Amino acid sequence: MLQVLYALLAAAVTVSYAAQSPRRNVSLVVTGGTVVTVDGTGRVLPSGAIAIDGRDIVAVDAPDVIAQRFTGTRTIDATGQVVLPGLINTHTHAPMVLYRGLADDLALMEWLQKYVFPAEAKTVSPEFVRAGTRLAALEMIQSGTTTYADMYYFEEEIARATREAGIRGVLGQTIIQFPVPDAKTPAEGIARAIAFIQAWRNDDLIVPAIAPHSMYTLDVETLKKSRAVADRERAPLIIHLAETADEVKIARDKYKATPTEFLDSIGAFGGRTLAAHAVHVTPGDISILAKRRVGVSHNPESNLKLASGIAPVLAMQAAGVAVGLGTDGAASNNDLDMFEAMRLAALLHKLTSNDPRALPAATAIKMATIDGARALGMEREIGSLEAGKRADMILVSMRAARQTPMYDPLSHLVYVTRGDDVQTVIVNGSVVMQDRRVLTLNEKAVLDEAVVWAAKVRQAVK
């Protein structure tokens, strides 16, 4: 009996203290929307609220609970919208938006060798890269991407433009065997990568990386040196992997192995690694990727458009490989809309498995958020709406005719929503777009600059 009385007394004291305790001041409260947390339990709050202080989420709960505990310096009403983690694009070549539509309906090797590589040789410069990254950042913000992984040249320029736009980037300085605009030799490219990583390693938004292009565009020595740099500098390594049947043939002819087996044999997967595409991987390859904890970026639109093939995503997921979603560069996609990537991935793998239950909407959303974070090795910081994580989130309107009625927000996000349904974007606790107005970039200036560069590209490839 005494234990019961003590318990009642303790409860009364707790309630009294809670009622009297002051509310905590925070920088921002987002309230009233349907909150899709993508946390470990898959929690969805039909009416939820998020308290943000500085760059961090401090609480996710019902609006009345958040109102009792927190006072926001600023409040955003999310009524009629779905709030979810910012989308994570795990594979891009951001400045290549300036080559959007330059050459279509071609096989990858023909596309690269006859159009892309020659165009890059004549047009890529620090100024080109800055203009292209601004355009890519504008497009990504407007369609709900808050983090992206990149491989390109003059990556320090991409980092500056990305940071100015206020979004998060895992940015890889590309290493390739032949002369390119920012490095005449692989050794020069590696030196640039080291300098880039050391200059940006402590940035709050930028994660610098080294990006050896692929096993078929680099020799063994350069691949090993790239891995050594990544390990010594504690940086991610980003690489294209098994994107085409041609790549597999090159590996088998030259090394008597698959691309995955070859790269594993030289220690390329010894640390934090992101592999883009992984289209032509065998069950044995998948076991290697799982064992080495290699993250994979699935790029369904680019792979289909270039007829590269269809990655065995379901098998990789079953083996425990972290598979995120990517758009690839806009020169081969031809856009950076992650909602399209989600929808196509969900539909594609239903067809290939002959199972409409395969890759459901909830899984597609995870691939674009928390699984993308896992593929990048950043799941402790981003990818879900949970206390302690960075405040990266988007607010998506569900008021259009095609979105009415809404029975299941997860279904709507994958099978109905488009990038231009995104209304508000928050990255690292800062609002970078509100009510479709981008606050960190001058939209007209970005578009005008892109038009000028397009004329130069057109002239260069005549």
Give one DSSP letter per residue of 137-162, joined into a string.
Answer: HHHHHHTTEEEEEEEESSHHHHHHHH
CA distances to 12, 198, 242 from 213, rounded to whole Å, are: 64, 20, 12
Q: Angle at the Cα of 367 (from 364 to 372), degrees rounded to 5?
A: 165
> What would the pLDDT profile of 1-31 be if each residue is shown by its tens digit?
444 444 444 444 444 444 456 899 999 999 9
| Three-state secondary structure call for residue 81 | strand
Output the pTM of the full model.
0.94
Question: Nearest Cα to 127, choosing from 182, 79, 73?
Answer: 182
| pLDDT per residue as tens, the chain (462 positions) | 444 444 444 444 444 444 456 899 999 999 999 999 999 999 999 999 999 999 999 999 999 999 999 999 999 999 999 999 999 999 999 999 999 998 888 887 888 888 888 888 899 999 999 999 999 999 999 999 999 999 999 999 999 999 999 999 999 999 999 999 999 999 999 999 999 999 999 999 999 999 999 999 999 999 999 999 999 999 999 999 999 999 999 999 999 999 999 999 999 998 999 999 999 999 999 999 999 999 999 999 999 999 999 999 999 999 999 999 999 999 889 999 999 999 999 999 999 999 999 999 999 999 999 999 999 999 999 999 999 999 999 999 999 999 999 999 999 999 999 999 999 999 999 999 999 999 999 999 999 999 999 999 988 887
Instruction: Return the amino acid letter for 448.
Output: D
Q: What is the C-alpha R_g of the chain? A: 23
Question: Domain 2-85+391-438 is in which class?
Answer: mainly beta
**What is the token pair recorded at 129?**
């890269």
> What would the pLDDT profile of 229-286 be if each residue is shown by its tens digit?
999 999 999 999 999 999 999 999 999 999 999 999 999 998 999 999 999 999 999 9
Q: Which helix (H) or strand (E) holds 16?
A: helix 2-20
Taking residue 95's Cβ as centre, other Cβ atoms within 10 Å add up to 31
Question: Nearest Cα to 336, choosing from 292, 363, 299, 388?
Answer: 299
Give one DSSP letter per residue of 418-449, joined into a string.
Answer: -GGGEEEEEETTEEEEETTEESSS-HHHHHHH
Give one DSSP letter per residue of 335-371, joined into a string.
Answer: ---HHHHHHHHHHHHHHHHT-TTSS-HHHHHHHHTHH
Which CATH number applies to 87-376: 3.20.20.70, 3.40.1160.10, 3.20.20.140, 2.60.40.10?
A: 3.20.20.140
User: What's the rounded Cα separation, in Å, for the pair 424 and 392?
Assistant: 11
Range(s) for CATH 2.30.40.10 in the chain?
2-85+391-438
CA distances to 11, 141, 350, 415 from 399, rounded to whole Å, are: 43, 20, 28, 15
For residue 358, the Cα-to-chain-centroid distance in whole angstroms is 22
For residue 152, the Cα-to-chain-centroid distance in whole angstroms is 15
User: What's the rounded Cα separation, in Å, for the pair 280 and 242?
Assistant: 5
Asked if omega into 63 is within 30° of 0 (cis), the reply is no
Helix boundaries (H) for 36-166: 63-69, 108-111, 117-123, 126-142, 155-165
Range(s) for CATH 3.20.20.140 in the chain?
87-376
**What is the token pair recorded at 174?**
């590309």
User: What's the rounded Cα separation, in Å, for the pair 332 and 350?
Assistant: 24
User: What's the rounded Cα separation, in Å, for the pair 295 and 40?
Assistant: 19
Helices and strands (H and E) in the chain: how many: 18, 17
Taking residue 436's Cβ as centre, other Cβ atoms within 10 Å add up to 13
- Contact present, 39 and 382 (Cβ < 8 Å): no
Taking residue 45's Cβ as centre, other Cβ atoms within 10 Å add up to 18
User: What's the rounded Cα separation, in Å, for the pair 326 and 162?
Assistant: 17
